[in-house]
A and B are shown apart, each in its own frame.
Chain A
Amino acid sequence: GAGVSQSPSNKVTEKGKDVELRCDPISGHTALYWYRQRLGQGLEFLIYFQGNSAPDKSGLPSDRFSAERTGESVSTLTIQRTQQEDSAVYLCASSLEEGNTEAFFGQGTRLTVV
């Protein structure tokens, strides 16, 4: 596709369950970001992948959160043992390279933990 694709667009899960969110970046984009946005708030950085370098995981809020990326393609964000405070929109973005180019965002996954 032409843009960044995220799935599912909405996810309702019970507290304590694991969830997996998927991001398909734009083909050829080496940089991929995950952000979390709570209602009415700004974007909270979670993790950043750049090519084959080790990911920058400095924004992950707890060890319940993890993310993987296969080469320069699909990325998955996994949240284990979900809590109500994990409810938010999770946004993925990709860019051609680190630093100097615009980021293209997916439409996000709205996660609701009940």
Chain B
Amino acid sequence: SQQGEEDPQALSIQEGENATMNCSYKTSINNLQWYRQNSGRGLVHLILIRSNEREKHSGRLRVTLDTSKKSSSLLITASRAADTASYFCATDEYSGAGSYQLTFGKGTKLSVIP
């Protein structure tokens, strides 16, 4: 099952603008992570926010977490053409089989136009 669901599915902006992507999830979590994927290959970890945190920054990235609404947002400020990629949120979902699965959403495809 897909724990995290991102929206929008696709986003196209001009270079220099800010990009906001949202993620919703269904069960309680320990933490939520955002990843980036270029060209359908390996994912790169961007940022992790714990369930007791509300906001976190890393460079041009800002992540918020609202556990009451079971949602998170990723903001990329002053976007660059090189930010063009797919962005995924991931949560640790208890599988019921004694372990926590790292479960990914379907992703937001961001296009930054030079």
Contact = CB atoms under 8 A, between A and B. Distances in A.
B102 interface: yes
B31 A99 contact: yes
A56 B97 CA distance: 6
Contacts of B44: 105
A101 B30 CA distance: 11
Interface residues of A, number: 32
Contact-residue size bin, chain B (C-beta under 8 Å from the other chain): 20 to 34
B30 A99 contact: yes
Given A53-B99, A98-B100, A104 B40 contact: no
A1 interface: no
B97 A103 contact: no
Given A35-B104, A42-B104, A102 B45 contact: yes
Contacts of A35: 104
Contacts, number: 78
B2 interface: yes
A56 B31 contact: no
A102 B40 CA distance: 19
Contact of B106 (A42, A100, A101): A42
Contacts of A93: 43, 102
B43 A105 contact: yes
B110 to A, nearest CB: 14
Contacts of B90: 103
A41 interface: yes
A42 B50 CA distance: 23
B25 interface: no
Interface of A: 4, 33, 35, 37, 39, 41-43, 45, 48, 50, 53-54, 56-59, 89, 91, 93, 95, 98-108
Interface of B: 2, 30-31, 33, 35, 40-45, 48, 50, 88, 90, 92, 95-107
